[in-house]
Amino acid sequence: MTRNPLAFPLSKGHAMPTENRDDTLAAHAPSMASAIPAGHGHVTTGEFKIRARDVNVFYGDKQALFDVNLDVPAKSVTAFIGPSGCGKSTFLRCINRMNDTIPSAKVHGSIEIDGNDVNAKSVDPVVLRSRVGMVFQKPNPFPKTIFENVAYGPKIHGLATGKAELEAIVEASLKKAGLWNEVADRLHQAGTGLSGGQQQRLVIARAIAVSPEVILMDEPCSALDPIATAKIEELIDELRNQFCIVIVTHSMAQAARVSQKTAFFHLGKLVESGPTEEMFTNPRDTRTQDYITGRFG
């Protein structure tokens, strides 16, 4: 995989081990796959994890997305960019059916993960969301201890059979999220007592504790300072070895730094998508060019 020339310097020095770094967590990968039967079986880097075809979304009478067709590659970072209200978050929320929680929202078209339509009647959104984790704009740790925050997913999905196993999952997740060293001695203090950047890494640890296949991030750094942002970006870069990551961002520099593929949305339409490097150096559409050069948005 070619590195992006605009990439953030911090993430360059990092070795990318190809093997699964934590065996404990892998051993507890959820048996959820049976709920959505694996279509293509083994997914290798370079294949597409998510395929969206003719996705239209309505909020009441207002159409928010128009005929979106997009393929999201596995084990890489895909960035959605575009001005506010362009539909990028709406599309993100379609992937794990978070729009179900909004009564007026209607989604047409198909979104397939490993060849299985997420909107199919047989798919339980609860099971889907255990495979597709999500990180929000504002850190939203639960009003519980750090440990309980990370253990939340494994507990509700019954991923751990004993206390020791649960502790192992929590430790592995916190280590993956790069938070373990900072919180190891205060696992049983409130998660809300952490700093903003730590909270965001805590909710990332919470999301990866259930070993999802896809992690959706909705502007994960917009509420953070530059140093915390750099840490999260570094983390995203590490996580893409194991997960398919989709990130919505307002910062084009961030998209350039962390993503391998970029999709540009404008007024509810997917204008252009392609390898990040190409998008930023040689955009095909004039709207894309105008946006990335800062002429609007």
Partner 1 sequence: MLTWLSLLFLALFSGAAFMAGRGRALKAAGGATARLHSLPNYYGAYAALWAGAPAALLLLLGAMFGGRVEDAVLQAQRPAAVSALTPDRQNVFFSDVQAIASGQAASEVAYDGPLRAAFDAKVVEARNIEGIVRYSILGLAGLVALGGFLLVIPRVNTEFRARNRVEGWIAGVLIACSVAAVLTTLGIVLSLIYESWRFFETVPILGFLFGTEWAPQIAMRADQVASSGAFGAVPLFAGTFLVMMIAMLVAAPIGLYSAIYLSEYANRGLRSTIKPLLEILAGVPTVVYGFFAALTVGPLFRAFFNGIGEQMAGGPLDGIAQYLMQVQNQMALVAGVVMGIMLIPFVSSLSDDIINAVPQSLRDGSYAMGATKSETVKKVVLPAALPGIMAAMLLAVSRAVGETMIVTMAAGLQAKLTANPLDTVTTVTVQIVTLLTGDQEFDSPKTLSAFGLGLTLFVVTLGLNIIALRIVQKYREQYD
- Please report, as ranges, the residues that interact with partner 1 according to CB under 8 A: 96, 98, 101, 103, 126-131, 133-134, 136, 138, 140-144, 152-153, 156-157, 190, 192, 203, 206-207, 210
What are the φ and ψ backbone dihedral angles of 105, each rounded to 5 degrees? -80, 135
Nearer residue to partner 1 within complex by CB, 172 or 203: 203
Nearer residue to partner 1 within complex by CB, 215 or 292: 215
Nearer residue to partner 1 within complex by CB, 153 or 268: 153
**Rounded least distance, CB 128 to partner 1, Å:** 8
d(CA 212, CA 208): 6
User: CA 175: distance to chain centroid?
Assistant: 18
d(CA 261, CA 76): 8
**Rounded least distance, CB 181 to partner 1, Å:** 24
Nearer residue to partner 1 within complex by CB, 157 or 257: 157
Q: Which of 280, 244, 196, 250 is nearest to 96 (CA)?
A: 244
**Rounded least distance, CB 212 to partner 1, Å:** 9
**Rounded least distance, CB 134 to partner 1, Å:** 4
Specify the 3-state DSSP secondary structure of 132. Answer: strand
Nearer residue to partner 1 within complex by CB, 192 or 241: 192
d(CA 287, CA 266): 8
**Rounded least distance, CB 6 to partner 1, Å:** 30
Q: List Cβ neighbours of 126 (8 Å cut-off, separation of 6 or more).
A: none
Specify the 3-state DSSP secondary structure of 260. Answer: coil
Nearer residue to partner 1 within complex by CB, 147 or 291: 147
Nearer residue to partner 1 within complex by CB, 41 or 103: 103
Please identify which residue in the block is written with the tokens 């709207």.
287
Q: Where are the alpha helices (DSSP H) in the chain?
A: 23-27, 88-95, 125-131, 146-156, 163-176, 180-183, 196-208, 226-239, 252-258, 276-281, 286-292
**Rounded least distance, CB 227 to partner 1, Å:** 23
**Rounded least distance, CB 215 to partner 1, Å:** 10
